[in-house]
Structure 1
């Protein structure tokens, strides 16, 4: 399983686990499909920031794979 620290590993349509801003203390993850990539740099130590299709924004902790659609 890939971590979300490399921008090149993430693209719209992937299923990922993200940590929302309000969940950073607990580390609770939320699963969803990437809609937009918000981080411009090629890497980020805490994960690339993305917007999910449902509008939630957070940093990618794990890449699950292609969406089942």
Structure 2
């Protein structure tokens, strides 16, 4: 799954995100979802989430 559908993501899901500060670099960070920040059912660039570490980014892969 690519992380563009909100229904595929739950708090606690293991994901790979592109952090806001690394936008367009392609650098991914792994973590667990603490909170889903995107309110729409899908987003073409990935659902925005907050990881348990407090980092914010868009999901690129669901592990």
RMSD: 0.6
The count of aligned residue pairs is: 63
Give the TM-score normalised by the residue count of structure 1. 0.89
Give the TM-score normalised by the residue count of structure 2. 0.97
Cross-structure match for 1:22: 21
Name the larger-Rg structure.
1
Unaligned runs of 5+ in 1: 65-69
Counterparts of 1:28 and 1:59, CA distance in 2: 12
Cross-structure match for 1:37: 36
Unaligned runs of 5+ in 2: none
For residues 1-69 of structure 1, the aligned pairs below 5 Å read 2-64=1-63
